[in-house]
Amino acid sequence: MRLSARVESVILPIAAVLIALAIGAVLIALDGASPWTAYTALLDGSVGGPDSIARTLERATPLIFTGLAVIVGMKAGLFNIGAQGQLLTGAVFAAWVGYRFSLPAIVHVPLAIVVGGLCGLLPAALAGVLKAYRGAHEVITTIMLNAILVSLTEWIVGARGPFHDPDAGAISRTPLVRETADIPRIDVYPLGFFLGVLVAFAIWFLFGRTTTGFKLTTVGQNKFAAEYGGISAARITVLAMALSGFLAGVGGSIETLGVFGRFESGRNVGLGFDGITVALLARIHPLLAIPSALLLGVLRAGQTQMAFESKVAPEIIDVILAIILLLVCAPIVVRWILRLRKGTTGAESLQLTSGWGAS
Amino acid sequence: MGPGWRRALPGLITVAVVVAVAVLAYNLNPDDTTPVANRVFRDAPVLVLAALCGLVGERTGIVNIGIEGQLLMSAFTGFYVAAATGNIWVGVLAGVASGAVLGLFLALCAVTWQIDQIIAGTVINIFVIGITSFLYTQGKRSPGGLDPIELPWLSDLPFAGPALFRSTPIAYLSIILVFVLHIALFHTRWGLRSRSVGEHPSAADTVGISVAGYRYLNTALAGGLAGLGGAFLSLESVGTFERNMTANRGFTALAIMIFGRWRPLLAWAGALFFALTSALASQLQFNQVIDVPPQFINILPFVLVLAVLAVFAGSVRPPAAAGQPYVKE
């Protein structure tokens, strides 16, 4: 069977998710648990009622942002695998603005979000500069910055750090942010999620309708052609990384201000890698980041209840997500399973490896 | 001096400085330098094996971002197979095999499916983190490490002698492999053909060298090297398996590979340099010479990687076809 590229681009990701869930079911059964109990608990914990749905939206929110962060990078031919560290930095500094200053809510919330975004921007922009002007590949630099930022955020909110909550004793966390810095909820649903949706539309607009977006994609597709056309590839590389880091930082800020109310070390883990899955599942389309993030949000929100009710190790979700990632990257496997012929257009796999050297 | 010597100069200077400082420090206080030396030769084999893995792959044109995952997977299988069979050598073999299997998988992604190599490597990393966390069980014990082999006379040398020449078989093997790969890459038919596949695959293809064949073979061999490193990490260096225990060593190894200009001997020097820096930092803190939060010490190796890349990455030339899928015309 042969499908048009458009139909296939919808069917392949969905098939990837279903196949991964099926493999997950086999693994759960091998682990001695009941897949039926596990998956019903997963759904109950993620979409079973208003509170569960609110939790899914909470989990999906930072993933929209890290997903968009990865997408922005990939559009410009860069692979930012450091969204995790950028998000943590944003989350910490948003918390600091949130508890340290006393301001009216109308200023406080945006200020904390923007400061968080800028703090995510800085390390990413550094990676961009190292790439553009020193030839250091962003995959290595961003993962190193990840490790550095994880340690530094641990320190800054730890017992010896400047942002430590004096009432927390040995727990590494900041004080609660002031009420004026809280991102409110609509009923039980977190407003932050809807901000994420707005930002996804903004990024979509950026790439579809603006000169800057055009420059970003041009550099991503052919750096040399871009230079020939008068676009400075180096500057665009720094800009793409900066925007990518800003988005991750905003994601962290919203997580702090809208969900936890403070920054606590060890709470916002795994969001950077999940962002990669969101981006690739969305086939680096900014709007598709929303459903992709929601899907991962469902898996993450229901994870605890699933593990609790079926006694399967909660890390099964990580395995399922890894299989999803694998299958969306290797559509050939899904085609083989579905007995599909190759689609009409060959433009399916993303090439962004740009070597290690300066060129 | 010939161009080869000039290229090797930064590495040689590094080695000379390191040796000079080490000997000087040893004469000042052997109580400090002995633990540092021990730690260097306990950490370096993993780094050098991982760097060799990256190097063999890239010399053949395959960028391997999945080294981190290969190390973690083989640390996992090595430890649990050794724990289950009670035989440490079986564990080591299982580690090597699992590294090689992931290498084959990378080649499948890169050569046959033509997925972007960096994405394929990242997929390997994420997949391994997931599967090892899921299968992880606490409380397993390995049958203990391999017995060290002491080389007489050499082990009495100052500073590095007791640490280096009273090593375990895998640590010696890692050093032997550095020299073997150096000779193999630059003085054998396999090496010449591998490098031609990594530099100019269409030319290699024209003279009848199988580009895909060499890429599969070498990526699998390279995976075996990382597998040996991973097995060493869990069975020898640490003595147990923990989630995420590789702690970015695979990525550090890539920086070492770049620092070492895709040459085994320089990569070995780079691995020693990295291991020495982090060993010195923790010893300084242990002696309370410097009183800073432990997190600041933990980030030092990563800051070093960034510094090394910032200085060296732009001035070195990777194999020309690294990262490019080869499509026959």
Mean pLDDT of B163-177: 83
Does B302 contact A144 at a Cβ distance shorter than 8 Å? yes
The whole-angstrom distance between A188's CA and the closest CA on chain B is 32
The whole-angstrom distance between B176's CA and the closest CA on chain A is 28
pLDDT of residue B289: 67
Does A276 contact B122 at a Cβ distance shorter than 8 Å? yes
pLDDT of residue A359: 41
The whole-angstrom distance between B158's CA and the closest CA on chain A is 34
pLDDT of residue A170: 86
Chain B residues with beta carbon closer than 8 angstroms to that of A152? 295, 299
Q: Which CATH architecture has domain B3-315?
A: Orthogonal Bundle (1.10)
Does A151 contact B318 at a Cβ distance shorter than 8 Å? no
Which tens digit of pLDDT belongs to each residue from B262-310?
999 999 988 988 888 888 777 777 776 677 788 888 888 889 889 888 8
Which of B251, B256, B278 to probe by mutation at the A interface, max A CB count within 10 Å? Answer: B251
Contact between residue B11 and residue B260 where contact means Cβ atoms under 8 Å apart: yes
Chain A residues with beta carbon closer than 8 angstroms to that of B258? 356
pLDDT of residue B157: 65
pLDDT of residue A339: 76
Does A148 contact B293 at a Cβ distance shorter than 8 Å? no
Does B114 contact A330 at a Cβ distance shorter than 8 Å? no
The whole-angstrom distance between B133's CA and the closest CA on chain A is 6
Does A155 contact B293 at a Cβ distance shorter than 8 Å? yes
Q: Which residue bears the tokens 């990518």?
A: A244
* Identity of the residue numbered B101: V
pLDDT of residue A126: 96
Does B119 contact A151 at a Cβ distance shorter than 8 Å? no
pLDDT of residue B25: 66
How buried is residue B144: exposed, middle or buried, by Cβ count under 10 Å (0-12/13-18/19+)?
Answer: exposed
pLDDT of residue A102: 92
A135: alpha, beta or left, given left = phi > 0 and alpha = psi -120 to 50?
left
Q: Which residues contact A336 (CB under 8 A, 6 or more apart)?
A: none
- The secondary structure of residue B109, as a DSSP letter, is I
pLDDT of residue A267: 84
Give the pair of three-digit tokens for residue A152. 């530094």
Dist. CA A2–CA A245, nearest whole Å: 40
Does B134 contact A355 at a Cβ distance shorter than 8 Å? no
- Please state which CATH class domain A34-173+188-311 belongs to: mainly alpha
Nearest CA in chain B to A140: B251
Give the pair of three-digit tokens for residue B201. 């695959």
ipTM, two decimals, is 0.87
Dist. CA A352–CA B65, nearest whole Å: 13
Q: How big is the A-B interface in CB pairs under 8 Å?
A: 150
Give the pair of three-digit tokens for residue B135. 């299968």
The whole-angstrom distance between B146's CA and the closest CA on chain A is 31
Position with higher pLDDT, A49 vs B37: A49
pLDDT of residue B200: 92
Confidence of residue B210 (pLDDT cuts 50, 70, 90): very high
Chain A residues with beta carbon closer than 8 angstroms to that of B296? 151, 155
Does B248 contact A144 at a Cβ distance shorter than 8 Å? yes
* Identity of the residue numbered A351: Q
Nearest CA in chain B to A316: B134
| Backbone CA torsion sign across B261, B262, B265, B267 | positive
Dist. CA A337–CA A326, nearest whole Å: 14
Which tens digit of pLDDT belongs to each residue from B89-120?
999 999 999 999 999 999 999 998 888 888 89
Walk along chain A (359 residues) and give the pLDDT tens digit of each residue: 667 777 777 888 899 999 999 999 999 999 888 999 999 999 999 999 999 999 999 999 999 999 999 999 999 999 999 999 999 999 999 999 999 999 998 999 999 999 999 999 999 999 999 999 988 889 889 999 999 999 999 999 998 889 999 888 889 999 999 999 999 888 889 999 999 999 999 999 999 999 999 999 998 888 888 888 888 999 999 999 999 999 999 999 999 999 999 999 888 888 888 999 999 999 889 999 999 999 999 999 999 999 999 989 899 999 999 999 989 888 777 888 877 766 544 444 566 655 554 44
Chain A residues with beta carbon closer than 8 angstroms to that of B130? 315, 318-319, 321-322
pTM, to two decimals: 0.89
The whole-angstrom distance between B152's CA and the closest CA on chain A is 41
Residues in chain A, overall count? 359
Mean pLDDT of chain B: 86
Does B314 contact A136 at a Cβ distance shorter than 8 Å? yes
End-to-end CA distance of chain A: 42
Does B251 contact A313 at a Cβ distance shorter than 8 Å? no
Confidence of residue B129 (pLDDT cuts 50, 70, 90): very high
Does B118 contact A139 at a Cβ distance shorter than 8 Å? yes
